[in-house]
Amino acid sequence: MSDMSDMTESATTRGRTQHLLYILPVLVFGALAAVIAYFMLSGRDPRLLPSALIDQPAPEFKLPPIEGWEGRKPGLATGDLRGAVTVVNFFASWCVPCLAEHPQIMALSKMEGVRVVGINHKDRPAAAKDWLTRHGDPYARIGADSGRAAIEWGVYGMPETFILDKTGRIRFKHVGVVRRETLKETILPIIRKLRK
């Protein structure tokens, strides 16, 4: 065969590059598998979307109070978010996980040095008022949102909770239920840091 006569110097160097080429597939696969394994072991939820608003000032918005509670609980606007560390919590009476995290939000509202405000998202006023009366009202102010405020805040699911610093910049966002562990391990340390 004509190939057999190819036992020259150039053939061996070619042979070496060829050998290198044969290893390429397994190396590429190994790298890919390592990356995927790392991702899976890190425990990150691939469905969670990081916020695009971190370190940005809070969006410009002005929400009315819940209908019927105009005298009792003021609405919420961007200006109300400055001056103290603020927790902004999106909630609704139809949102089942919101109920699950409510004890933690109540606990936050009793803390010194942090102000908790709520945005009532796409809710019926009667249902919202009833829910708050029954389960407790941790919010210093509540803005009634028909949907646009949620988009301004980049909200895509319920509930979502934001932590703002004293200048009104968004420093942290949590998507989903604020569990007791989340409160203790993540949210409280951030609030303490921002209070300084």
Q: What are the residues binding other proteins (CB under 8 A)?
A: 1-3, 14-15, 18-19, 22-23, 25-26, 29-30, 32-33, 35-44, 46-47, 49-53, 59, 122, 147-148, 150-154, 156-157
- Number of CB atoms found within 10 A of residue 121's CB: 24
Residue 1 or 196: the one with the smaller Cβ distance to other proteins is 1
CB of 121 to other proteins, least distance (A): 10
**Phi, psi dihedral angles at 30 (to 5 degrees):** -60, -45
CB of 48 to other proteins, least distance (A): 9
Residue 53 or 107: the one with the smaller Cβ distance to other proteins is 53
Sort 179 into a burial class: Cβ within 10 Å, 0-12 / 13-18 / 19+: middle
Residue 50 or 71: the one with the smaller Cβ distance to other proteins is 50
CB of 50 to other proteins, least distance (A): 6
Q: Strand, helix or coil at 187?
A: helix
Residue 37 or 127: the one with the smaller Cβ distance to other proteins is 37
| Interatomic CA distance for residues 140 and 148, integer angstroms | 21
Task: Characterize the bridge pairing of strands 160-164 and 170-175.
Answer: antiparallel
Task: Characterize the bridge pairing of strands 76-77 and 142-145.
Answer: unpaired
Q: Strand, helix or coil at 26?
A: helix
CB of 32 to other proteins, least distance (A): 7
Residue 59 or 64: the one with the smaller Cβ distance to other proteins is 59
CB of 37 to other proteins, least distance (A): 6
